[in-house]
Structure 1
Amino acid sequence: MKALRGLVLAVAAMLAACSPQKKDEAAPAADAPVTIRFATDWRAQAEHGGFYQALASGEYAKRGLDVQIVQGGPGSNVPQLLASGAVEMGMGSNSFIVMNLAQEKVPVKAVAAFMQKDPQVLIAHPGTGVESIADLKGHPILLSDASVTAFWVWLKAKYGFTDDQVRKYTFNAAPFLADKRSAQQGYVTSEPYTIEKAAGLKPKVFLLADEGYPGYATMVLAPDSLIAKNPKAVQAFVEASAQGWRDYLTGDPSKADALIRKDNPEMTQDVLDQAREKLKSYRIVEGDEGLPVGAMTDARWKTFFDMAQSQGVYPKTLDYRTAYTLQFAPKAK
């Protein structure tokens, strides 16, 4: 975690150095739309569909927001974009990212979670005797550097996996396909389909969330400064995004998909269609607890922190509640 924490410290320093608006700068008109540049964590895809739906359908605009989605990519760093003032809000991919910001006292909080289930999966070859995650003990597992310091911590704690199983994953399925004993990471909405399409192989897929992994995903991050200065804008963004996600999953997604393909011309409609169906069938956005879209709970965050802290990732003294606020997240009725 040292490299990531070093980066988080740098982000904290940048946020501390950011100066407030000068008094002689012209203030925007009272009725002018509030500009929100929202940075995503990857290239445009169905996993961002609710935000694009809210943009395409005017949900942001009718709440007084001028939202611009800033597409991410392999080198994108959302906390750094927030720190530099390049964006007003951003996406937190997983709960470890948010908790790391809290540990380094970076003044940014999660204000909503639009994936109740982290879509992370482990993918294995069929016909090799692997019928559960536990069966992968001793097998080589392809993981990115970021994953080694994130959900791998939980896998080791729950299944007794060891670091000598780790092989470097470079977002290329070729090493996995070449070794039938291996497994690799992926998103339930992406890699299983692309592997099957490219290699004619229907892999075994294990969704970590359905095995008890407690992390949220696709969280909305807001700087403390924006929360203090314009809480109405934060609330409006969360509410519009929640409606966008509901509409993307249950309504007509065509306008959102068109915006996604415009931002990411490499994206194809078949990939979008199957990803949307996976989001629905696995209940990635809604979860299994009957909570509103975008909700977070203190209990869930405590479960996540206790898991990570028990593995030595965070000290017991960390106030994990500074990582998030429930002020804006939808509440159960």
Structure 2
Amino acid sequence: MSAATLLRSALAAALAAPLLAAPAGAAEKFSYLTSWFAQAEHGGFYEAQAEGLYGKAGIDADIRQGGPQVNAMQLLLAGQVDAVMGYDFQVLNAVEKGLPAVTVATTFQYDLQGLMTHADVKGLGDLKDKTVLIASSSHTTFWPWLKAKYGYTDAQTKAYTFNLQPFFADPNAAQQAYPSSEPFQAQEKGVPANFYLMAADGYPPYGSTIVVTRKTLEERPQVVRAFIKASMQGWRDYMKDPAPGNALIKAANPKMGDAQIAFGIAKLRELHALDGKNGVPIGAMTEARWKATDDYMVGAGLLKPEVDWHKAFTTEFVGDLDARLN
């Protein structure tokens, strides 16, 4: 082989190398804003990031923390983020106002909202002589459901200021709670307490959904689909080995300790939050459940009857999900 031929071969190899190493296309940027500071309830998204599942799906994912001063829906509609961790009532109310928000998948098969009670209370129906501490927003979400189901009255309620001392001090008090948060704090204080999940008694909404704008849905459907699929794979892996996701959770939220995270994961397993009682694929939603939520809201006067509830969600992206816990 001549020197010229060798030189041409070397140049061709050098030019081809970067082309072979480069991905087929640049990764699509996609930001997801959670509902609170990083915690176990967000673990699957951090796990997908830690394992590189988003990158493998062609996505440059940016998982952002929410918080008490963050208006997620406002940021979504302003185009500041591509997707947010949402709530069925929130999206149905947005549709009522003509806003283009759409739920494309869920994280949890149930809203994890519940009530924490002292040890003498045996269920959600056992609160007629109790003081119930709830936030102001709860009067337009779960409280009308509790009143209709159990005959409770507004006179029983007092403001919950996210301080557990009133509950600890009053043995006749119950309060709103999430299974991984307030019960953990009660345990740490050595206060015996029960937690009752409202969904177990029929409260219909999904929990911690993925919400996008209709524009994103129409212009970037493949990116939305890839993000959902990678996220649900992340949740599957997180529930098997949460260590990679936990490292990112603690980096994002240094106040989140190992004991709190472990408690949260245990509660997600105990409640079958991700796959429901029937072991559905992670992320799945049904029209029937959305109809049940619409029926409740309309019946409670929280939504106008003429609102087209079908606009609040689509099952287009969850029909082929295959990530399961078993």
Cα distance per residue 1:103-155 (max 9 Å; x no partner) = 1121110000110011111011113xx21111112421111122221111211
Q: Which amino acid aligns with 1:140?
A: T
Following superposition, the deviation at residue 176 of structure 1 comes to 0.8
Instruction: Report the Cα distance in structure 1 between the residues aligned to 2:141 and 2:205, rounded to whole angstroms.
Output: 10
Following superposition, the deviation at residue 296 of structure 1 comes to 0.6
- Report the more deviating stretch, 75-84 or 295-304: 75-84
Tell me the secondary structure at the aligned position of residue 290 of structure 1: coil
* Structure 1 position 188 matched with structure 2 position 182: no
Q: 1:35 aligns with which of 29, 39, 44?
A: 29
Give yes or no for contact 2:204–2:292 (8 Å, CA) kept in 1.
yes
Give yes or no for contact 2:116–2:195 (8 Å, CA) kept in 1.
yes
Cα distance per residue 1:245-284 (max 9 Å; x no partner) = 11111x2111100100111111001100110011011101
Instruction: Report the Cα distance in structure 1 between the residues aligned to 2:25 and 2:63, rounded to whole angstroms.
Output: 22
Instruction: Report the Cα distance in structure 2 between the residues aligned to 1:330 and 1:45, rounded to whole angstroms.
Output: 28
Tell me the secondary structure at the aligned position of residue 135 of structure 1: coil
Tell me the secondary structure at the aligned position of residue 302 of structure 2: coil
Alignment match, 1:19: none
Q: Which amino acid aligns with 1:276?
A: I
Alignment match, 2:289: 300
- Report the more deviating stretch, 63-72 or 284-293: 284-293
Cα distance per residue 1:282-312 (max 9 Å; x no partner) = 1011111332110110001101111111111
- Aligned pairs, how many? 300
Tell me the secondary structure at the aligned position of residue 219 of structure 1: strand
Unpaired runs of at least 5, structure 2? 1-22
Alignment match, 2:92: 99
Alignment match, 1:120: 113
Q: Which amino acid aligns with 2:255?
A: E
Alignment match, 1:18: none
Alignment match, 2:250: 261
Instruction: Report the Cα distance in structure 2 between the residues aligned to 1:103 and 1:58, rounded to whole angstroms.
Output: 38
Q: 1:332 to 1:37 in 2, by over 3 A?
A: closer
Tell me the secondary structure at the aligned position of residue 37 of structure 1: strand
Instruction: Report the Cα distance in structure 1 between the residues aligned to 2:297 and 2:236, rounded to whole angstroms.
Output: 31
Alignment match, 2:14: none
Tell me the secondary structure at the aligned position of residue 114 of structure 1: strand
Tell me the secondary structure at the aligned position of residue 125 of structure 2: helix
| Runs of at least 4 residues off by over 4 Å | none
Structure with bigger gyration radius: 2
Tell me the secondary structure at the aligned position of residue 241 of structure 2: coil
Following superposition, the deviation at residue 49 of structure 1 comes to 0.5
Q: Which amino acid aligns with 2:144?
A: V
Tell me the secondary structure at the aligned position of residue 60 of structure 1: helix
Q: 1:312 aligns with which of 301, 305, 321?
A: 301
TM-score w.r.t. length of structure 2: 0.89
Instruction: Report the Cα distance in structure 2 between the residues aligned to 1:295 and 1:204, rounded to whole angstroms.
Output: 29
Cα distance per residue 1:162-203 (max 9 Å; x no partner) = 111111111110111111111011111221111111x20120
Give yes or no for contact 1:143–1:185 (8 Å, CA) kept in 2.
yes
Q: Which amino acid aligns with 1:186?
A: A
- Map 1:165-180 to 2 at 5 A: 165-180=156-171
Q: 1:332 to 1:158 in 2, by over 3 A?
A: farther
Give yes or no for contact 2:28–2:223 (8 Å, CA) kept in 1.
yes
Q: Which amino acid aligns with 2:157?
A: V
* Structure 1 position 163 matched with structure 2 position 154: yes
Q: 1:331 to 1:252 in 2, by over 3 A?
A: same
Task: Give the share of equivalent positions with the same residue, in percent.
Answer: 41
* Structure 1 position 220 matched with structure 2 position 210: yes
Alignment match, 2:54: 60
Instruction: Report the Cα distance in structure 1 between the residues aligned to 2:129 and 2:118, rounded to whole angstroms.
Output: 15
Following superposition, the deviation at residue 332 of structure 1 comes to 7.6
Q: Which amino acid aligns with 1:195?
A: A
Instruction: Report the Cα distance in structure 2 between the residues aligned to 1:42 and 1:273, rounded to whole angstroms.
Output: 18
Give yes or no for contact 2:105–2:228 (8 Å, CA) kept in 1.
yes
Q: 1:255 to 1:239 in 2, by over 3 A?
A: same
Q: 1:280 aligns with which of 250, 269, 288?
A: 269
**RMSD across aligned positions (CA):** 1.5
Alignment match, 1:211: 201
Following superposition, the deviation at residue 86 of structure 1 comes to 1.5
Give yes or no for contact 1:36–1:67 (8 Å, CA) kept in 2.
yes
Alignment match, 1:46: 40
Q: Which amino acid aligns with 1:154?
A: W
